[in-house]
Structure 1
Amino acid sequence: MAWWQWVVDVAGAILILILLYGLALVIRRRVITRNHGTIELSHRVRPSGDGRGWVLGVGRYSGERLEWFRLFSLSPRPKKVWAREALSYDGRRAPLGVEQMSLYPDHVVIVCQSADGEVELALGAASLTGFQSWLEASPPGTDWDR
């Protein structure tokens, strides 16, 4: 076989792998969003002062938990999970500097406190209203003096 035929075969194999990866991402997203309320939710995995460290993802409300899935991962399991009773909302701000290019255009950055420390998330204004409602809608018997 000539060298150019090897190049064409390798290029074809790479193209098929890319298409299969894309198809797997679409199927995974459908499975994640099928039975639960989901939102576009970015998470700052590496807190730093320069606006970097944001990873795009999907958030899913699952009972008393907020689950976060990376957007370009094939894993069916959430990368992060926050329990409602351990999460408190501290405030919001507009994306600054580099964050404006890293996040979706209409998203705002919110700061929450969890058992693991400060958590920064980015979501749309309508999703923020739903998030705040979800936090406040604790089940009966919750300690409101916390």
Structure 2
Amino acid sequence: MPLWWWMVDSLLFVVVLLVLLLVGLLVRGRVIARAGGTFDMSVTRSSEAQAKGWMHGLAVYGDTELCWFRTFSLSWRPRYRFTRGEVQIDGRRDPVGDEVHAIHPGHLIVSTENPVGVKQLAMSPNALTGLLSWLESSPPGQRVNNVV
């Protein structure tokens, strides 16, 4: 078999792998989104206003925790889990400078304190309203603030 034939086979193999990777990312995203209660949310571990470090992802509400899945990952496990009661939102702001290009258009940035080390979240205004409501409420069957 000539060398050029091996190169064509190798190139075809790489293209097929890339297509399978893309299909895997799309299927994973659709399966996660079918759980319901999902929204686009970007996170960064930096507390500074800079474009570097922002990661796009999908957040999924649970009873007691908000699970965040990175968009460009094949992992079925959430990268971060924000437990209700351990997350505090400090303030909101519009993106500045290069941050405008690092997050989704129209998203607001909020500062947060939580045990997982994420310093800022970026989400749409409607998603922020939902997140604040979720943080202030309690799941069904549980008492608020342990008061009878």
TM-score by length of 1: 0.89
* 1:74-121, Cα deviation, whole Å (9 max, x unpaired): 000000001011011111111111211111111111111113556211
1:35-78 residue CA offsets vs partner (Å, 9 max, x unmatched)? 23100011103555543100110001011101100001000000
Residues 47 and 53, structure 1, Cα contact 8 Å, conserved in 2: no
Gaps of 5+ in 2: none
What RMSD over aligned residues (CA atoms) do the two structures have, in Å? 1.8
How far apart, CA to CA, are the structure 2 residues paired with 1:24 and 1:116? 27
2:75 and 2:116 map into 1 onto residues whose CA distance is 23
Deviations 1:9-50 (A, max 9, x none): 111111100110011111111221122310001110355554
| Structure 1 contact 45–55 (Cα < 8 Å) conserved | no
Q: Which residue of 2 aligns with 1:44?
A: 44
Aligned to 1:107: 107
Amino acid at match of 1:102: A
**What secondary structure is seen at the aligned counterpart in 2 of 1:89?**
strand
Identity of aligned residues (%): 36
Which residue is 1:96 aligned to?
96
Instruction: Decide whether the 8 Å contact of 2:44 with 2:120 is kept in 1.
Output: yes
Aligned in 2, Cα 1:49/1:89: closer, same or farther, shift over 3 Å? Answer: closer
Which structure has the highest strand share of the two? Answer: 1
SS of residue in 2 equivalent to 1:133: helix
- Asked if 2 retains the 8 angstrom alpha-carbon contact of 1:36 and 1:62, the reply is no
Name which structure has the greater RCO, CA cutoff 8 Å, separation 6+. Answer: 2
- Which residue number corresponds to residue 27 of structure 2? 27
Residue 132 (structure 1) shift: 1.1
